[in-house]
């Protein structure tokens, strides 16, 4: 795919707009997945996808074929996702939004078929999700991006290092620190639930 990406990039630089459309079609789903995992919000993820491809198009003259086009896009998407997450921290949701979400969750539990997990298991799952999201928000930008790329996107250490401009050891260390912080945050929940 990298060869076809390189050919498409060369065609775009030569003025072929259809070639860029092919790149967008090829990479938009993976950029969306990354953005969604980093922002936790579908609307924000869609904004990240649009902004990523817009920025990539405007900056295509800066793209160097040493890195894969997909890795270059991931770097743009990661940076923009982090910008959105930072701006959201400055403008947090209101308590009304959170209580409405809680009420919706209660209705969801009441309407579940009998074979579904019980309310206490759902509550535990929700608490784990909140803890993971809160801990991800507390990670440094580098740790969060490295963790998401590794554990959600399945990228190799080399690909992540290339996206973040890090050596292999620095990449591994960033992922390790993120995992350790998540473990420490989840340990009280796991212990209280009696999970071993």
pLDDT at 25 over 90: yes
Counted domains in the chain:
2
Residue 169: the pLDDT is: 94
Residue-averaged pLDDT of the chain: 80
Q: Which residue has the tokens 């309407």?
A: 111
pLDDT tens digits, 39-88? 888 899 999 999 999 999 999 988 887 778 988 898 899 889 888 887 87
Torsion, Cα 134 137 139 145, to 10 degrees, reads 120
On whether the CB atoms of residues 147 and 155 are closer than 8 A, the answer is no
What is the pLDDT confidence band of residue 180, given thresholds at 50, 70 and 90?
Answer: very high
pTM comes to 0.61
* Domain boundaries, position 124: 113-196
Q: What is the CATH number of the domain that holds 176?
A: 1.10.10.10
In this structure, are 79 and 126 located in the same domain?
no
In this structure, are 86 and 123 located in the same domain?
no
In this structure, are 140 and 77 located in the same domain?
no
In this structure, are 25 and 77 located in the same domain?
yes
Q: What is the CATH number of the domain that holds 23?
A: 1.10.1740.10
Residue 3: the pLDDT is: 65
In this structure, are 1 and 84 located in the same domain?
yes
In this structure, are 146 and 182 located in the same domain?
yes
Residue 41: the pLDDT is: 83
In this structure, are 18 and 66 located in the same domain?
yes
Query: Which residue in 3, 9, 31 sits closest to 21, CA to CA?
Result: 9
């Amino acid at each position: 795919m990298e060869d076809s990406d390189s050919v498409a990039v060369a065609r775009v630089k030569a003025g072929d707009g259809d070639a860029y459309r092919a790149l967008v079609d090829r990479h938009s789903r993976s950029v969306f997945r990354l953005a969604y995992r980093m922002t936790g919000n579908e609307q924000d993820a869609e904004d990240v996808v649009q902004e990523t491809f817009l920025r990539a198009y405007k900056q295509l003259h800066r793209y160097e074929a040493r890195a894969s086009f997909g890795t270059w896009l991931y770097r743009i998407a990661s940076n923009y996702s982090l910008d959105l997450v930072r701006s959201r921290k400055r403008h947090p949701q209101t308590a009304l939004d959170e209580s409405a979400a809680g009420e919706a969750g209660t209705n969801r539990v009441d309407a579940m078929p009998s074979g579904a997990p019980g309310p206490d298991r759902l509550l535990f799952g929700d608490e784990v999700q909140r803890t993971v999201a809160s801990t991800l928000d507390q990670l440094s930008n580098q740790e969060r991006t490295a963790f998401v790329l590794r554990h959600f996107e399945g990228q190799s250490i080399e690909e992540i290092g290339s996206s973040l401009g890090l050596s292999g050891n620095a990449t591994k260390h960033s992922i390790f620190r993120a995992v350790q912080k998540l473990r420490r945050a989840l340990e009280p929940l796991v212990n209280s639930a009696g999970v071993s």
